[in-house]
Amino acid sequence: MKNLKITVLSLLIVTLLTLTGCSSDPKSDTVNNEAGAKESNVVNLYTDRHYDTDQALYELFTKETGIKVNIVKAASDELIERLAREGQDTQADLLVTADAGRLNRAKEQGLLQSVSSETLTKNVPENLRDKDSEWFGLTMRARVLVYSKDRVNPTQLSTYENLIETQWKGKVLVRSSNAVYNQSLLASFIALEGEEKTKAWAKGIVANLAREPKGNDRDQAKAIVAGVGDVAIMNTYYIGKMLHSSDPEEVKVAEKVGVFFPNQATTGTHINVSGIGLTKNAKNNANAIKLMEFLSSDIAQKQFAEANFEYPVNPNVEPSELLKSWGDFKAQDINLSALGEYNEQAVKIFNEVGWK
Ligand code: FE
């Protein structure tokens, strides 16, 4: 009984201290975060990117603002798991990762928070950021058709839908449905065409596959050059990466395939982003938002996008020469939040049609 009294008493004291601690400081909103930690002159970033040019950009940011950028690099899904595990104790203020579907996963797990910034809404087009402003696209990629220059005339290609025609039987290459890139592609079709048509498409692709889905996007291009199939579904930047690879075999492969933007006369080519979000338990919110704004700015966008052979999201900034050489293209007209919203449905369809 005595113990219980003491416990209740100490709880009361702690509560009182917490309450007075919060209300006695009129500037608590600006200098303190929810956990009460004082903001310091740093920002901590969890990222799946590992480019030297990124480091140069962070150094420029530090030079301009005096804010030091600390980086934790890991694979994308690991970063999200780590954020979830660390909860309130996390050091991370920002999460940078690829795919709107994945960014949405972080959002749905309650790991991000909404950011209100005029700079970000000006620099990042509305369709390339979360509806609730919990993440913002920073670089854009397209999921295109890549074909054998030897065996396919690009005039034979037209749409994603065309790949289920009999002329492509045994010739289509694509990675497994576990990849979020494919889940987002299918989610975009659900958003544009509805579930029934999308399911028929997925079924048709499975019927036309050159082999059981395996490997990553680069492996599909390699399989084209090895003669396993003729046309693959792949993200644009892998072609850039392979063209600039230190492995001469990859360079050879990239030179032997062509890039085709499907659905130009219809719904547009599927696009996706790599993006950034302010973590739910960020301790350096103001610094973090400054870095988000900086990365969306004209000066940073070019370098940030080019590091991974991607398109800048900021419409003021021109893409690289390689991307320009592929020409302009019409993109799907959907808000990328839809890729998260329809993810579950997409996974269900993949399972139903047996897309491994
Ligand atoms: Fe990738």
The tens place of each residue's pLDDT in the chain, 356 residues long, gives 444 444 444 444 433 333 333 332 322 333 444 444 456 899 999 999 989 889 999 999 999 999 999 999 999 999 999 999 999 999 999 999 999 999 999 999 999 999 999 999 999 999 999 999 999 999 999 999 999 999 999 999 999 999 999 999 999 999 999 999 999 999 999 999 999 999 999 999 999 999 999 999 999 999 999 999 999 999 999 999 999 999 999 999 999 999 999 999 999 999 999 999 999 999 999 999 999 999 999 999 999 999 999 999 999 999 999 999 999 999 999 999 999 999 999 999 999 999 99
Task: Tell me the pairing of strands 231-235 and 172-173.
Answer: parallel
The alpha carbon of 247 and the centre of ligand 1 are apart by a number of angstroms equal to: 18
Number of domains in the chain: 2
The alpha carbon of 276 and the centre of ligand 1 are apart by a number of angstroms equal to: 16
The position carrying tokens 């104790």 is 89
- What pLDDT is recorded for position 50? 87
Residue 19 belongs to a domain:
no
The alpha carbon of 63 and the centre of ligand 1 are apart by a number of angstroms equal to: 30
The alpha carbon of 318 and the centre of ligand 1 are apart by a number of angstroms equal to: 21
Counting Cβ atoms within 10 Å, is residue 316 exposed (0-12), middle (13-18) or buried (19+)?
exposed
The alpha carbon of 218 and the centre of ligand 1 are apart by a number of angstroms equal to: 9
- What pLDDT is recorded for position 94? 98
- What pLDDT is recorded for position 39? 63
Same domain, 166 and 292: no
Summarised one tens digit per residue, pLDDT across range 91-123 is 999 999 999 999 999 999 999 999 999 999 999
Q: At 184, which amino acid appears?
A: S
Same domain, 153 and 235: yes
Count helices and strands (H / E) in the chain: 16, 10
Rounded distance between C-alpha atoms, residue 140 and residue 239, angstroms: 14
Same domain, 229 and 109: no
The alpha carbon of 28 and the centre of ligand 1 are apart by a number of angstroms equal to: 41
Same domain, 171 and 63: no
The position carrying tokens 């959002």 is 107
Same domain, 213 and 343: yes
| 192: phi then psi, degrees, rounded to nearest 5 | -90, -35
- Say which CATH number the domain at 200 has: 3.40.190.10
Same domain, 217 and 180: yes
Residue 167 belongs to a domain:
yes
Reduced to 3 states (helix: H, G, I; strand: E, B; else coil), residue 97 is strand
- What pLDDT is recorded for position 40? 82
| 275: phi then psi, degrees, rounded to nearest 5 | -145, 180
The alpha carbon of 180 and the centre of ligand 1 are apart by a number of angstroms equal to: 10
Reduced to 3 states (helix: H, G, I; strand: E, B; else coil), residue 351 is helix
Residue 159 belongs to a domain:
yes
Same domain, 220 and 312: no
The alpha carbon of 99 and the centre of ligand 1 are apart by a number of angstroms equal to: 9
- What pLDDT is recorded for position 32? 44
Residue 29 belongs to a domain:
no
Rounded distance between C-alpha atoms, residue 214 and residue 24, angstroms: 60
The alpha carbon of 112 and the centre of ligand 1 are apart by a number of angstroms equal to: 22
- What pLDDT is recorded for position 271? 98
Classify residue 113 as left (phi > 0), alpha (psi -120 to 50) or beta. Answer: beta
Residue 333 belongs to a domain:
no
Residue 22 belongs to a domain:
no
Residue 213 belongs to a domain:
yes
The alpha carbon of 316 and the centre of ligand 1 are apart by a number of angstroms equal to: 25
Rounded distance between C-alpha atoms, residue 91 and residue 287, angstroms: 13
Same domain, 49 and 101: yes
For 263, the domain range is 141-270+338-353
Same domain, 219 and 345: yes
The alpha carbon of 298 and the centre of ligand 1 are apart by a number of angstroms equal to: 24
Q: Between the CA of residue 116 and those of 120, 121, 133, 277, 316, what are the distances in Å?
A: 8, 8, 7, 12, 21
Same domain, 99 and 245: no
pTM of the model as a whole: 0.87
Return the bridge partners of 69, or none. 43
The alpha carbon of 125 and the centre of ligand 1 are apart by a number of angstroms equal to: 22
Same domain, 120 and 103: yes
The alpha carbon of 113 and the centre of ligand 1 are apart by a number of angstroms equal to: 25
Residue 25 belongs to a domain:
no
Same domain, 63 and 185: no
The sign of the CA dihedral 148, 149, 152, 153 is: positive
**Max CA-CA distance within the chain?**
86
- Expressed in percent and rounded to 5, the helix, strand and coil fractions of the chain are 50, 15, 35
The alpha carbon of 137 and the centre of ligand 1 are apart by a number of angstroms equal to: 15
